[in-house]
Structure 1
Amino acid sequence: MHNPEVVGIAFVAENGDEFYGESSDFDHSRCSDFVRAMVLPQLGTPEGRTMPYIELGRKCSNGLGAFRLATVRLSAMTSTATFMC
């Protein structure tokens, strides 16, 4: 994976708190075939979660801070792959 870009990111705490956001300014032409087929068609759902990359980073940082010590499950979509941990 060379220079992946964040497409979307989500995390959920054990207590049910969650965050989901999508980048509005990633380069679609750099996406892998898998991301084009499986991820891009799903973007924009739910509405209102798409934002510029800088804002997405800020909201992620603020969101993770709000989770405190809870165990968090992370899902990240980049232009080349989707990760869950």
Structure 2
Amino acid sequence: MINQTIANPEAPCIGQTFTRTKRLPPQQMRYRKKLLIERYGYCCFWCSCDLTPLTITIDHYIPLSKGGSNELKNLRLACLPCNQRRGDSLPT
């Protein structure tokens, strides 16, 4: 996980910081995709449709914008329509 600590301009105390997670480089995401395929097979986590190497995407269960991480436990395989439909929403 790549973290960047930056000063929060809305923080009540000077020097208070928060951590923002950046997206991983493509090479690392390809490696994680391979690990996820080995673990879960070619199946969309959300709709259970069959995936192919061309239709598979990686979805963040908890989006990065909502405090999620790039750790394997937060990544899911999804078809493009499911991934796009979710956007940055939290799972229900």
Q: Give the TM-score range, shorter chain.
A: under 0.3
With the length of structure 1 as denominator, give the TM-score of the two structures: 0.26
Higher strand share: 1
Larger Rg: 2
